[in-house]
Amino acid sequence: GGDGTTASATVIGVYQEDDLALLQLKGATYTPVKFTSRDDPKLGRFLIAASPDDTPISVGVVAVETRSLREKDQAFLGVVANSDPPAKGLKIESVEEGSAAEAAGLKDGDRIIAINGRVVGNLIELKSALSGFRPGDKVEVRYLRKGAEAVANAALKERNVNYPEFPNGRLRQMERMGANEKGLSLVHEGFPSVIQTDLRVGREQCGGPIVDLDGNLVGIGIARADRTRSFLIPAKHVIELLAREPVSPEAAQAAMEEEQQARRQQVGQNLPRDQRVPRAIPAPPGAAENLRQHLEEMERLMDRMRAEMEGLQE
């Protein structure tokens, strides 16, 4: 606590999708924060990552309003596309079989120029234009075909399980390689409800309250994803969670091991359970510093690649 008192804690339950644990404390009594079902903060609102003393950990803004990061909740158009300056729009390289794009009549070579009136000129803009939609939502796709402008109405779908996942799978492994060095959270994706911010909090500082400028509790800081993105779980969602029974720590651990095994298989690293640490190899002098520099360069590269890679799957 802020007064220096400590307590022992026992994990009595886990909300696994949200990466939250329910603790039972012994040895001290703390004043709890008050969760209310107020509306989630809007884009651009200032936020503060609070600390036990009077000095905030970080001050930032809402970068993306409340949304789900679960893949099953993401709406996909189902195209592989690339920008081709100075040509207008985003050129479709291929259309996924059974996708919303195919059903809407989009074809290879078409150039997407707008989604629901929002201009699209690159992959980041396409992803941003689709970010507020869920599977089943309908959007107007304005496109060019052989120089002529046309409109298609697409009913967005979930991601096809057979659609290639290699780029993001490899990116996730690269992110984990740099996580220890940069203080990033090992779990920073797949949350059912989060607000994206630019708060600069380390992973060891996650789990604390995030408040607005009036001191109202907005949510719980849950993850630092990279240099520019942090996530918080909205207070309203936490209230909904507490109304449900968490899973046991043992069940959560078993599920986590299954997920880790699945990730290793995805990137060709299907190691047996008793061989989770690679064999050590002697390193020459200066190798650690070189590796640190490579990781920093990798992180900068991932910042540029992430949106492009994820956009390829829209």
Residue 133: give its domain's CATH number.
Answer: 2.30.42.10
Q: Is residue 3 part of a domain?
A: no
Residue 192 sits in the same domain as residue 230 = yes
Q: Is residue 147 part of a domain?
A: yes
Q: How far is CA 301 from CA 69, 121, 171, 295, in A?
A: 22, 21, 10, 10
* 193 DSSP assignment: S
Q: What is the CATH number of the domain that holds 25?
A: 2.40.10.10
Residue 202 sits in the same domain as residue 244 = yes
Residue 176 sits in the same domain as residue 245 = yes
- Alpha-carbon dihedral sign for residues 12, 18, 19, 25: negative
> Nearest-CA neighbor of 218 among 74, 59, 73?
59
pLDDT of amino acid 46: 96
How far from the centroid of its chain's Cα atoms is residue 217's Cα? 22
Point out the domain boundary residue: 158, 192, 220: 158
- What confidence tens digit (pLDDT) does each residue in 2-51 have? 567 888 999 999 999 999 999 999 988 888 888 988 899 999 999 999 98
pLDDT of amino acid 85: 76
Point out the domain boundary residue: 139, 158, 177: 158
Residue 62 sits in the same domain as residue 173 = yes
Residue 153 sits in the same domain as residue 175 = no
The domain total for the chain is: 2
Q: What is the largest CA-CA distance in the chain?
A: 73
Give burial (CB, 10 Å; 0-12/13-18/19+) of 288: exposed
Q: Is residue 115 part of a domain?
A: yes
CB 160 within 8 A of CB 23: no
Point out the domain boundary residue: 137, 158, 179: 158
pLDDT of amino acid 231: 95
How far from the centroid of its chain's Cα atoms is residue 84's Cα? 28
| Cross-strand bridge partners of residue 95 | 79
Q: Is residue 191 part of a domain?
A: yes
Query: What domain range is 12 assigned to?
Result: 8-70+167-262
- What confidence tens digit (pLDDT) does each residue in 110-138 have? 999 999 999 988 887 887 788 778 889 99
pLDDT of amino acid 116: 92
Low-confidence ranges of the chain (pLDDT < 70): 1-3, 160-182, 263-288, 290, 292-294, 296-314
Angle subtended at Cα 97 by Cα 79 and Cα 85, rounded to the nearest 5 degrees = 20
Residue 181 sits in the same domain as residue 61 = yes
Residue 32 sits in the same domain as residue 104 = no
Residue 66 sits in the same domain as residue 181 = yes
pLDDT of amino acid 81: 85
Residue 51 sits in the same domain as residue 79 = no
Q: Is residue 313 part of a domain?
A: no
> Nearest-CA neighbor of 27 among 12, 5, 4?
5
Backbone angles phi, psi at 203, to 5 degrees: -65, -30
Q: Is residue 276 part of a domain?
A: no
Q: Is residue 288 part of a domain?
A: no
Residue 210 sits in the same domain as residue 245 = yes
Structure tokens at 236: 């309203």
pLDDT of amino acid 265: 64
Residue 60 sits in the same domain as residue 91 = no
> Taking the model in full, what pTM does it have?
0.63
Residue 65 sits in the same domain as residue 85 = no
Q: Is residue 312 part of a domain?
A: no
* 21/95 Cα distance (integer angstroms): 42
